[in-house]
Each structure stands twice: as structure tokens, then as C-alpha cells.
Structure 1
Amino acid sequence: MTFPLAGLLRVRGAQERVAAERLSRATAERARTEAAAQDVRTSLADLGAQAGDAQTLLAMAAARAAGRSALSDLQALTELHRTAEDEAKDAHVEARRELKGLERLENTHRVEEVRADLAAEQTALDEIAVARAVRGAGSAA
């Protein structure tokens, strides 16, 4: 006999794989935005304070302002990606929990099937033994 919830088990398995894929993508996106923010921090730190004239000083100030604005945007985007990653992680944990519950039910079903098969086999062997004993007792009389 097949597991009655086999179709649901396949669906839950597919849902778990989709949740794992979403978690993987969310983690990659968060890592990319964190790396980009780190690059902006590094480039801001590399801007020197040595200005030869007023135009260079103004250009450096504008570059720093633009860099800080970009860094602020990247930090906000990184926070959004962290939130999305946390949500994807929660969804994956939930999908995994549902899948594991069904897998335990399937395992229990299989164990019960094996027990029933063994019990039926034992009953058949007992019947054969009783029949032989009856035939042996009948021929000895």
C-alpha cells in the first residue's frame, strides 16, 4: 500500500526547495549590497584631504557628499535585504518543518507496512506448521 499523503509530501518537498532557493537568493543579494557599501566606505576613506586649489577642494567635497549619499542608500538597501533574508529564512524553516513532519508520517507508515507484512507472513508460517502437525498426528494414529 502506498503512503496516502505521497502527493502532499511531493508538494511540501517542492515548497521547501522553492523556499531554500529564495533564501539563497536573498542571502546573495544581502551580501552584494554589503560588499557595495564596503566599497563605498573604502573609496570615501581613500579621498585625501590634500587640495591644491579651491576647485579641487569643491570637487572633493562634492565627491564626498555624493559618496555619503550613495553609502546611505546602500545601507538602507542592505537593511531591506536583511529583512527579506530574515523573512526567507523564516519561510524556509516553516517549509522544512512541514516537510519533516510528513516525512516522519511516511516513515511511520512504512514501518507499519513492514510490521503488517511480517505479521501476515508469520501467520501463514504458523498455519503451515499447524497443518503439518495435524497431518503428522493423523498419520501416526
Structure 2
Amino acid sequence: MSKFALSGLLRVRGVQEEQSRRELGQAQARLSAAQATVLRRSSSLDAAGAVPGGPAPHFLAAAASRSAMVAAVSEAIAAREISQQDLEQAREQWLQSRMRARAIERLAERHREQQAAARARADQALSDDLAGARHAARTGGPATAGGLS
């Protein structure tokens, strides 16, 4: 029987899909890390509380500290949004690579089905030939169409 002509392409598409799947997993991990950073920085800001009153230098230092914490939270939120966009892009790339691989897989399945049908036809023809030869041997003459001698 013949070899599937697109087997090389099927392997390449499978590798591409696997790579896309890995990239999707990495994007999900980056998003989780970005979310954890937002939570950690927000918790630090919440724990710091309001700026305490007191001498001007202490008040200004505490206000600057809170301002830096707010900026860190804002940066973490921006990084999380970028990670979310990267995740969506990775998901789209994986879906595209999966569709391309699946198209070739369907062709390979059809090829296997055709090969199995061809083997079944060949087996049936061989079985018919053997049955005809046995019949001819039993009846002492050549087998004719319809099994009549």
C-alpha cells in the first residue's frame, strides 16, 4: 500500500502545534505571575496604610513612599494587561496551528480508511479466488460465473 504523501507535513504541523501549546502555557504562567505581583503590591500598599502625621520630613518621606507604592501597583497592573494580551495572542496562534494540524490529520485518517478498504477488497478477491479454486477442484471442472458447472 502507498505511504501517506503528506506525512512529513503532518509531523511539521504537529511540532508547530506543540510549540504553540508550550507558548500558550508560558503565557498563562506569565499572566499568573503578573496577577500575583499585582496582589502582592496591592497588599503592601494596603498594609502601609495612610500617611501618618508628624514632622514635615517624616510626613514627606511617608508620602513619597506611598506614592512609589502606588506607582508600583500601577506598573504591575499595566504588566498584567500586557500579559493578558499576550495570552490572547498565544491562544489564537495555538488555535490556528491546531486547525492546520487537524486538517492534515483528517487527510491522514481518510488515507488510512482508503488503505484499509483497499486491503479488504484485496483480501475479499483472494478469498473469492481461493473459494473458486476449491469449488473447481471439488467439482472437477473450472469454476464458472454464478457457481454453475
Matched with 2:23 is: 22
Q: Which runs of 5+ in 2 are unaligned?
A: 142-148
Matched with 1:54 is: 56
Alignment of 1:114-129 (within 5 A): 114-129=116-131
Counterpart residue type for residue 27 of structure 2:
A
Counterpart residue type for residue 129 of structure 2:
E
Equivalents in 2 of 1:22, 1:113: separation in Å? 36
Equivalents in 2 of 1:2, 1:59: separation in Å? 75
Q: 2:98 aligns with which of 75, 96, 99?
A: 96
Q: TM-score of the superposition, structure 2-length normalised?
A: 0.86
Could you say which structure has the greater relative contact order, defined with CA pairs below 8 angstroms and 6 or more residues apart? Answer: 1
Any idea what the Cα deviations from partners look like across 1:43-77, whole Å, max 9, x if unmatched? 11111333443322211110111111111111111
Counterpart residue type for residue 117 of structure 1:
R
Equivalents in 1 of 2:78, 2:49: separation in Å? 26
Q: Which runs of 5+ in 1 are unaligned?
A: none
Deviation at 1:27, TM superposition (A): 1.1
Matched with 1:132 is: 134
User: Number of matched residues?
Assistant: 140
- The two structures, once aligned, show a CA RMSD in angstroms of 1.6
Equivalents in 1 of 2:116, 2:79: separation in Å? 55
Deviation at 1:98, TM superposition (A): 1.5
Deviation at 1:84, TM superposition (A): 0.7
Contact 1:47 1:60 in 2 (8 A): no
Secondary structure, aligned partner of 1:4: coil
Q: 1:67 aligns with which of 48, 66, 69?
A: 69
Identical pairs, percent = 33
Q: TM-score of the superposition, structure 1-length normalised?
A: 0.91
Equivalents in 2 of 1:106, 1:65: separation in Å? 61
Which of the pair is proportionally richer in helix?
1
Contact 1:30 1:78 in 2 (8 A): yes
Equivalents in 2 of 1:19, 1:102: separation in Å? 17
Counterpart residue type for residue 3 of structure 2:
T
Equivalents in 2 of 1:59, 1:47: separation in Å? 13
Equivalents in 2 of 1:87, 1:25: separation in Å? 12
